[in-house]
Amino acid sequence: MDTLFYWIDHLGVAVFAISGTLLAFRKNMDGFGVIVLASVTAIGGGTVRDLILDLPVFWAHDPSYLYSILVAAFATIIWLRFREYIHQRLLQSADALGVAFFTLMGANKAMEAGFSPIICVVMGTITACFGGMLRDVLARDIPMVLKSELYATTCIIGASIFVILQPYAPVVAVLAGGFSTLLLRFGAIRWQWSLTVFQPHGDQHR
């Protein structure tokens, strides 16, 4: 099971690195900008998680994560050489995949460290959201997590499903938690699902 999570973690890093590279391409950044944006997206959330949990920062103790970022970024650059335009939906899809992977990894790492279920859900959400938020801020975009479509909520739901099922059926927990996060995020992108709290009141108070 540890091997499965290890490769899921690497896959999440690679997918988020692709997401950062795609946004760098849309913003016409140079090579250094691409690497910075890919790296921040891929390891930003996990770094914050490890610092909060007072655990060794994962990529500092296993540099292979940095290699995954470089390989994913360069492969994406080569692929982009044959395309003149990147649709926003492709960036959102890559981001959604990264969110699903990192939600599981953040929650699982907190569980392995012995934290309570609610902290595990919070850590899954931070791991999935924080890197993308840093990416968007550096690229001077409104962070996806702050837009009206469901984003962090999908992580909370997916992480909760994973945390509930993991003690009884680890593989089922991975599948159920990951797919629920992914499908909810894709649904939010496709049909603009949102949790609206504040509504404009028009002119009634004027």
206 part of a folded domain: no
> In the 8-state DSSP scheme, what is residue 146?
G
Q: How many domains does the chain have?
A: 1
Tell me the residue range of the domain where 10 lies: 2-191
37 part of a folded domain: yes
What's the pLDDT score for residue 198?
Answer: 63
62 part of a folded domain: yes
198 part of a folded domain: no
201 part of a folded domain: no
Using only the alpha carbons of the chain, give its radius of gyration.
17
Residue 188 Cα distances to 89, 152, 181, 193, angstroms: 12, 11, 11, 4
**Amino acid at site 21:** T
Q: How far is CA 109 from the centre of its chain?
A: 15
Smallest CA-to-CA distance from 156 within 148, 164, 168 is with 164
100 part of a folded domain: yes
197 part of a folded domain: no
Q: pLDDT 10s per residue in the chain (206 long)?
A: 688 889 989 999 999 999 999 999 989 999 999 999 999 999 999 999 999 999 999 999 999 999 999 999 999 999 988 876 777 788 888 889 999 999 999 999 999 999 999 999 999 999 999 999 999 999 999 888 887 678 999 999 999 999 999 999 999 999 999 999 999 999 998 888 887 766 666 655 54
Q: Which two tokens stand for residue 182?
A: 């992914």
C-alpha neighbours within 13 Å on the C-beta side of residue 65: 22
What's the pLDDT score for residue 127?
Answer: 97
Rounded to whole angstroms, the Cα distance separating 85 from 202 reads 39
Rounded to whole angstroms, the Cα distance separating 77 from 5 reads 27
205 part of a folded domain: no
